Structure 1
């Protein structure tokens, strides 16, 4: 197989989609010659020895035009047999390149790829996704959205993202490690990810944190992440500022800490300190959580996830075993579930999470992805 990957979602950009596309690239490179069109700086993270063309990722129109040009050139020079768009954003470029090379076209789609409300996107990008020879969805919910948008069922495959699997079980953080980060002795609720309205943290703090603090005065909510400034549809204003404001209005500011972006060593300590991972994603019109990679990543650290059963999140959490998902926006139910899970034996929940993660490692994802092209 000679493959060409076209994607904006690739390191050095940071996020779940970027990690996913890095593993997509690795899977393609291990199964034949590979070329790639990606963002500036991608070479440091791409498989060695591939034919790589970098395009500035900002502003977005510049990337879109650059990806069209470089995708067209790569199709003629490299002659791929498969052209893959790493997200719906690159679907038109992938289809054009595939047409030039006489290759098959595939698109890996996330939920928002299929419901983005912008009229230009609806007129130009959705037809490119529908016309692909293979559409690979990141969850069952995303596959349902693809069918609703007219993607034929026989062209659809579901390949959920994977996670890193650690050789040894995580060890609980020490008192000294916690002290270096200013963590108290009480239970730690952890949230990791870019800050957007869809992630639901401001609403969770407003609607659930007061009850949690009343029941457990020593509880701490630790938030890792920054505003999603590199997202295609960046929010208006700062979600971080909204989170801080809600914590102050709810009278729980002393129980909420925002760490921003942290290095791997700090994140490791935070995961080993966490009792639960909070993922209160909201079901918003025109927005959707395609999968919820961070829930699977938390499981790989032995940390259960509590959140709402929306979008593709149910594919990332084994309900009752690696966490619990309650009805969308039911803050009271989520607060009650959080208190109940804090009372569970940590050793058993950690073992269940680690087993679930081991069954969904990146090596398994890469194998399933290649099989999906057949």
Structure 2
């Protein structure tokens, strides 16, 4: 394919919806728009945050069947009028639409696959969606474990490649005044700060971490505070959620509710950056759920970009996002005692993980590398 092809991106996952997939698709559109004409079909609210170089077509977000139907019709209309060279599905959800119309109009298709896109055991999805994904001209996996699942689902290895999600690098510089404001606002003076960043779902395992690990960390280091950044996602297609109320109830049972702070979702990049800087450890206690895998773990890269180490369970794509012993620790087999010990080790000996090493590792995932990685896939079509 040519470097100036017209690419139609079809996805439900764009801001203002919150999540790693949403940020990724935004940056894919932004980076590819530097050399290509980009057309985007997504939910109507995404129009207000779409990159200015793109043409945008919005459809209704909910209910999901209506979104898919309207997207299917809009894709046909766009293909008929503008004849894009490549149809790109930003996740497995829109893969049938991209692949179907690409074949009808004799164009090329690319599908970007996240962990749940291919790891789900949903019978109807596996019956309808997976064959369309297999039929795409190119399939991009977001991590090496996702790549392995693709192979196990019968996807041709010659079509497969890996492109990890990215991170803004270099990060915004430290704003000492804002950091101090946050310390004062949340009474973090003299505290050891753990942060959790992400949606409250069963897979993220925050409630289990508080129950089986955090209380032990606090027993050892009493001034430890966990700052939870994120909330239960209202628009998520994954309904296996954990509520703030459930987590608070668990903390109260253990008598540590005063050691946990909920900020809710943070859309202000300056505030989120400041939390990454002031944190001592980013915790990522994702549970191993084969039918609901963690696709990558971009928040671990974001933490590393700010010099903050991550302690996580070694499951799904997290194994690509954390370099064991250098940018944090990967804990096997859901070993809560070991994750407790690793957190305590970092809190008691902050020099054990180098800020500089964390930042150097994160640079490999900078968004500005994304375009060249995608160009290799596009040229191969």
| TM-score above 0.5 | yes
Partner of residue 98, structure 2 = 94
Partner of residue 346, structure 2 = 341
Partner of residue 80, structure 1 = 84
**Using the alignment, how far apart are the partners of 2:56 and 2:93 within structure 1?**
19
**Using the alignment, how far apart are the partners of 2:73 and 2:25 within structure 1?**
21
What is the CA-CA distance between 1:267 and the residue it aligns to?
2.0
Aligned partner of 2:355 among 345, 350, 357? 350
**Using the alignment, how far apart are the partners of 2:290 and 2:146 within structure 1?**
15
8 Å contact from structure 1 (residues 3, 84) kept in 2: yes
Partner of residue 289, structure 2 = 284
What is the CA-CA distance between 1:338 and the residue it aligns to?
0.5
**Using the alignment, how far apart are the partners of 2:333 and 2:203 within structure 1?**
12
Partner of residue 156, structure 1 = 160
8 Å contact from structure 2 (residues 326, 353) kept in 1: no
Unaligned runs of 5+ in 1: none
8 Å contact from structure 2 (residues 213, 340) kept in 1: yes
1:199-241 deviations in whole A, cap 9, x for unaligned?
Answer: 01000000001210111000001101010221112236x5222
Distance 1:168 1:44, change over 3 A: closer
Verify: 1:42 aligned to 2:46, yes or no: yes
Distance 1:371 1:344, change over 3 A: farther
The CA RMSD over aligned residues, in Å, is 1.7
Partner of residue 296, structure 1 = 301
Distance 1:263 1:180, change over 3 A: farther
Partner of residue 239, structure 1 = 243
Structure 1 residue ranges, 4+ long, deviating more than 4 angstroms after superposition? 171-176
Q: Which moved more, 1:251-260 or 1:272-281?
A: 251-260
8 Å contact from structure 1 (residues 130, 150) kept in 2: yes
Partner of residue 190, structure 1 = 195
Distance 1:34 1:235, change over 3 A: same
**Using the alignment, how far apart are the partners of 1:220 and 1:162 within structure 2?**
28
8 Å contact from structure 1 (residues 163, 362) kept in 2: yes
1:314-348 deviations in whole A, cap 9, x for unaligned?
Answer: 11111111111111310000000011112334596
1:101-130 deviations in whole A, cap 9, x for unaligned?
Answer: 211111000010012222221111111111
8 Å contact from structure 2 (residues 138, 160) kept in 1: yes
Q: Which moved more, 1:291-300 or 1:225-234?
A: 225-234
Verify: 1:30 aligned to 2:34, yes or no: yes
8 Å contact from structure 2 (residues 7, 38) kept in 1: yes
**Using the alignment, how far apart are the partners of 1:168 and 1:40 within structure 2?**
30
**Using the alignment, how far apart are the partners of 1:332 and 1:187 within structure 2?**
19
**Using the alignment, how far apart are the partners of 1:262 and 1:318 within structure 2?**
27
8 Å contact from structure 2 (residues 171, 306) kept in 1: no
1:234-279 deviations in whole A, cap 9, x for unaligned?
Answer: 236x522221121112222121111111242432332221001000
Verify: 1:211 aligned to 2:195, yes or no: no
What is the CA-CA distance between 1:49 and the residue it aligns to?
4.2
8 Å contact from structure 2 (residues 7, 36) kept in 1: yes
Partner of residue 268, structure 1 = 273
**Using the alignment, how far apart are the partners of 1:64 and 1:141 within structure 2?**
28
Partner of residue 139, structure 2 = 135
Aligned partner of residue 57 in structure 1, secondary structure: coil
